[in-house]
Amino acid sequence: MSVKIDRTGSPLAESKAAPYPVQAPRIVTDATTVGQTVEIGLKFNAAVAVSGGTPQLSSSIGGNPRSAALASGSGSDDLIFAYTLQAGDA
């Protein structure tokens, strides 16, 4: 898996309602082998209280759509999402 993260829109160009992301998503824990977990961090301008479900962060790995589930960070300004590599990802 590449550590490059692409984004399609600028977080600074559009109007926002707080809390909103203030940095591009980043790789917190890298993984290269099937079964290992990649952690992706998303930093916000204010604390985010998550309730009523598990947020998902959509991504694409090798052209395949993937989703990382919220792993930690509710109540903070830094949410961590986790995705376990599958065959064809690494």
Q: Is the pTM of this model over 0.95?
A: no
pLDDT digits (tens, 9 = 90+) for 12-54: 566 666 788 999 999 999 999 999 999 999 999 999 999 889 9
| Distance (Å, whole) CA 68 – CA 73 | 14
Tokens standing for residue 56: 């998902």
Q: Is the pLDDT of residue 7 over 80?
A: no
Report the 10 Å Cβ neighbour count for 67. Answer: 11
Q: Is the pLDDT of residue 3 over 50?
A: no
pLDDT digits (tens, 9 = 90+) for 46-75: 999 998 899 999 988 888 899 999 999 999
Question: Secondary structure of 63-84 in the HEC alphabet?
Answer: CEEEEEEEEECCCEEEEEEEEE
Q: Give the bridge partners for 72, in sequence order.
A: 80
What is the chain's length?
90
